[in-house]
Amino acid sequence: MDPHSAPLDDLVVLDLTRALAGPHAAMMLGDMGARVIKVESPAGDDTRGWGPPFIGEGDERESTYFLAANRNKESVVLDLKTEEDREVLAGLVRRSDVLMENFRVGVLERLGFGLDRLHELNPRLILLSITGFGHDGPEATRAGYDQIAQGEGGLMSITGSDPDQPTKVGVPIADLLAGMNGAYGVLAALHERSRTGRGRVVRTSLLASVVGVHAFQGTRWTVAKEVPGMSGPHHPSIAPYGLFHTATSPVQIACGSETLWRSFAAAAGIDVDDPRFATNGDRVGHREELTAVIEEVFAQQPAEHWLELFAGAGIPSGKVRSIDDVYSWEQTRSQGLLLDVEHATQGSLQLPGSPIRFDDQPYSGGRATHQAPPTLGQHDAEIRAWASEPLS
């Protein structure tokens, strides 16, 4: 196998999206080798202005938010209110395998690129459409913003410790999940196209992506008719499984089986025969008492003592790392999760990498080298020229 080839290096992705959900989907395919052409308005992607933090000064200022979602892309500026640039877009559609958009419902049609026109231009085109609440239904026209979707999709109602303060996840998880689902759907549609020769529409939304990860919290309601609430830093159905304070910093433990519980209790010096803690159900029912017992024991030693003890006993445990600690951690680096790129105006940058690795490659993503996120319109000339070339 060519060590420099990538799984998707024969694909062209036309990225009309902005903000995070769509750009993340396109970046995932770019990481796997696809050529991703990011179409931006003259003002640029909204996230170019989201900050601080920024790096650089004046016209060369770049948002770190934009840098997080746009590696391995080329940028062309098109004003789709003009006939000339709509023709450029039409030329790009003819040459692309995938088009991604996250406009409000109906916007693409008003620009003259409804589904019929797109498939007239390119019958093999896969269209990914990401919306806030779905493309149909009574709330289809609502704008999609991550925190709104986290709240409307129930995620904030089960996150945090204080029912009066519903808490969002620390990253835009609805956006990121929608992007991941979109990329996943596109790959399925591309596989189908290899048999049928025709494209199709893939749809997902922020709402669908949040509801789609309810997992056991969803079936607590749909099957057991129990409304989940907040459980803070502890698992609602397993105990002990969560965060506990020590003499120094907190540690986390996960006793996901009776065997692990008994090993943990023996290592920590907790009475394993206490009838309050006899089964997992008992321990969940007496969680506050169990937490008090564990933290009374843990208060006698620093976190490092307990982590070393549990590692030796085979009990899943860990610390709570800060973001800077994560990126300096040798395990993170060993997984190829940091990429070195050369930015057009900022020089050498280090970016978070793809979470996927292939068996013959030591780096993350499918490509041996990665491109820095583009400056606005960085690739205008070459992309416009390519769009106007006769089709072979």
Query: Which residues are part of the catalytic machinery?
Result: 175
Between the CA of residue 9 and those of 13, 31, 98, 126, 229, what are the distances in Å?
11, 10, 13, 16, 45
Backbone angles phi and psi of 375, in degrees to 5:
-75, 165
As given in the structure block, the two tokens for residue 228 are: 């989940």
Conformation bin of residue 262: beta by default, left when phi > 0, alpha when psi is -120 to 50: alpha
Is 145 exposed, middle or buried (CB count within 10 Å of its CB: 0-12, 13-18, 19+)? Answer: middle
As given in the structure block, the two tokens for residue 188 are: 């399925």
Residue 22 and residue 185: Cα distance in Å, rounded? Answer: 13
Sheet arrangement for strand 98-101: 74-77, 35-40, 12-15, 98-101, 126-131, 201-205
DSSP states along 74-103 = EEEE--TTSHHHHHHHHHHHHH-SEEEE-P
